[in-house]
Structure 1
Amino acid sequence: MADGGGRIAELVQGLYQPEGGPRVDFRQPAGEPALAAPESVSWRVFKNPVSLFVGGVAAVILELAEPRVRSGVWEHSSFRRDPLTRLKRTGLAAMVTVYGPRSAAQKMIAGVVRMHDKVAGDTPAGAAYRANDVALLDWVQATASYGFMEAYHAYARPLSDADRDRFYAEAAPAAALYGAVGAPASVAAWEAQLAAMLPTLERHEIVFEFLDLMRKTAILPAPLRGLQGALIRAAVAITPVAVREVVGLGRAWDLGPVERRLVKLAGAAADRLPVQGTPAVEACLRMGLAGDYLYRR
């Protein structure tokens, strides 16, 4: 296992910890279960920082294609002003939801729900939205599940059809706490939801503004920053073709074969490298498992 005081640990931990933000102890209380079990597909998928970055970008592309979600995200968050801090907060929330002790996850999610209660408005076209609208919560949850799972499947380690269904189903307890009671519980349910949502999706320059922010912001540690553009194109590559056509992400955004190989090499390496101090390793230790438990499966 990597040395906890090593440079790799510092770099990976930095992806999840916003400066001045809360510090979550994933190792305590000893034995307290998370919302998902250690043997779950979710614990395997969320340990990989490479596929999480790719999947997160793909999820946001899908979110921003929906006009009500787009207005809520773009007008009521710090994405434009401070994208790096916002991404780290989102990453930490995902880690707590999957790996955190259940009591900490429930407390955090309740705070997010209270914050979302204050988010409401109208799109430029005049459509009213509320962040805690169940239909919008279902879409956001669905896009996150799709993005993270597809990125892991494409660039880290292929998942069986059964595991892909399990991944969606495992998100249900946390999704319900957020209010997404109709989020898809299988690949087929996701495909049905995508088909139902597709007529509401639209092209908007904010999608390209977001991708430009992702390209220009120094998100990855310096040794990996040269890979950032490829990771963004990798996210576009797993975005459903129909959505790419709607939002205008044409061939200029395609991932080249050399880039694809580099992304897959990075994803596969991250899937084999347990780093002390990261949420996945700390959660395993909390549950009395070896720190490298998820990396031997």
Structure 2
Amino acid sequence: MIFQRIDSAAARLMGLDGSDFREPAGEPAMLPADSVSWRVFRNPMTMYVGGIAAVLLELGEPRVRHGVWDHSSFKRDPATRMRRTARAAMITVYGARSQFEALTARVNRMHARVQGTTDDGRIYVADDPDLLLWVQATASWAFLEAYRRYAEPLGQADRDTFYAEAQPGAALYGVEAPPVSEAEMDALLARMRPQLEPSPAIEEFIAILRTADILPRALRPLQRLGAGAAIDLLPPAMRSQLGLTGYRFSRHERMLFALLARAAGRFELPSSPARQATARLAAVDRCGAVALATS
């Protein structure tokens, strides 16, 4: 019963209620099961924290911030918005290719309708290549950094491979030249840092993370812990640029979150997209075996 509750809570957090990664039987994902991305995206704790860190970096870029904050449901329904984003991340890695292609087509149509003007008078459109690049790259960076800090270390080759693996999926979102190595990602962060700025939206987002009905009541303390872990994940220069130096994440909190993340990596819940996707891929072998047996 307790295990079922945990599984249900995890599925709700990741926006997977009713999702089925087992279909269509045998259809491959964008990436193979032995990819670095499959390993990184498997950990729900680090994905949660990585998702928060990515949004913080997105909100720091004024044009992206207006596109996200003014044209989405983050303010009025943050839990649903975060679950929808988490589900999209899972489809990116574990969903059947046809499912992922349908998702990107839908998102691209939505982006085509989003436009506006920033507070300082700059016109923006959501499908601007530079803005698409920043959103895609910050997500890759944050998921990877959360995993390697809180779950397990990854060598240089695995880190470079992780970035390279994102390229085919990024192309379907209209991202023309995503970073394909850690060195390219570091260069992008250095180039973008002067453009980042603090904002009341960032403070409001952090407050939402700490108090909104995102997790079940019994797990609500994890929201505050997760927000602290995400802020702590950002490089000191980025935290300073975003006005987040006043937030403190103690050594004990860091150790506690790492223990939780490592524990989450030791077992896989029935609702895990990776587990369901593995069953989907295995289905083609079963179908093939049946065909041979009856021929």
**Equivalent in the alignment of 1:256:** 250
Counterpart among 273, 277, 280 of residue 279 in structure 1: 273
CA RMSD of aligned residues (A): 1.6
CA distance in 1, matches of 2:230, 2:269: 24
CA distance in 2, matches of 1:157, 1:285: 25
Is residue 80 from structure 1 mapped to residue 80 from structure 2 by the alignment? no
Q: Which has the larger radius of gyration?
A: 2
Is residue 54 from structure 1 mapped to residue 49 from structure 2 by the alignment? yes
Shift of 1:119: 0.2
Residues 4 and 275, structure 1, Cα contact 8 Å, conserved in 2? no
**Equivalent in the alignment of 2:289:** none
**Equivalent in the alignment of 1:295:** none
**Equivalent in the alignment of 2:142:** 147
Instruction: Give the gaps of 5 or more residues in structure 2.
Output: 284-295
Shift of 1:287: 1.2
- Size of the aligned set, in residue pairs, is 283
**Equivalent in the alignment of 1:202:** 197
Alignment of 1:150-229 (within 5 A): 150-229=145-224
CA distance in 2, matches of 1:99, 1:153: 20
**Equivalent in the alignment of 2:93:** 98
CA offsets 1:186-211 (integer angstroms, 9 cap, x no match): 11001111111112111211111111
CA distance in 2, matches of 1:90, 1:267: 20
Instruction: Give the gaps of 5 or more residues in structure 1.
Output: 290-297
Residues 46 and 146, structure 2, Cα contact 8 Å, conserved in 1? yes
Shift of 1:149: 0.5
Secondary structure, counterpart of 2:27 in structure 1: coil
CA distance in 2, matches of 1:160, 1:224: 33
Residues 231 and 247, structure 2, Cα contact 8 Å, conserved in 1? yes
Counterpart among 13, 23, 29 of residue 28 in structure 1: 23
Instruction: Label 1:70 to 1:244 Cα distance change in 2 as closer, same or farther (>3 A).
Output: same
CA offsets 1:128-160 (integer angstroms, 9 cap, x no match): 111111110000011000111000111111111
TM-score in terms of structure 2 length: 0.92
CA offsets 1:247-289 (integer angstroms, 9 cap, x no match): 1111x31211111111001100111111112211100111119
CA distance in 1, matches of 2:7, 2:228: 26
Shift of 1:5: 7.7
Shift of 1:227: 2.4
Residues 4 and 277, structure 1, Cα contact 8 Å, conserved in 2? no
CA distance in 2, matches of 1:128, 1:11: 40
Residues 197 and 243, structure 2, Cα contact 8 Å, conserved in 1? no
One-letter amino acid of the counterpart of residue 256, structure 1: S
CA distance in 1, matches of 2:192, 2:277: 36
CA distance in 1, matches of 2:137, 2:130: 11
**Equivalent in the alignment of 1:267:** 261
One-letter amino acid of the counterpart of residue 44, structure 1: R
CA distance in 2, matches of 1:259, 1:9: 24
Kindly report structure 1 stretches of 4+ aligned residues shifted beyond 3 Å: none
Shift of 1:35: 0.8
Instruction: Label 1:202 to 1:99 Cα distance change in 2 as closer, same or farther (>3 A).
Output: same
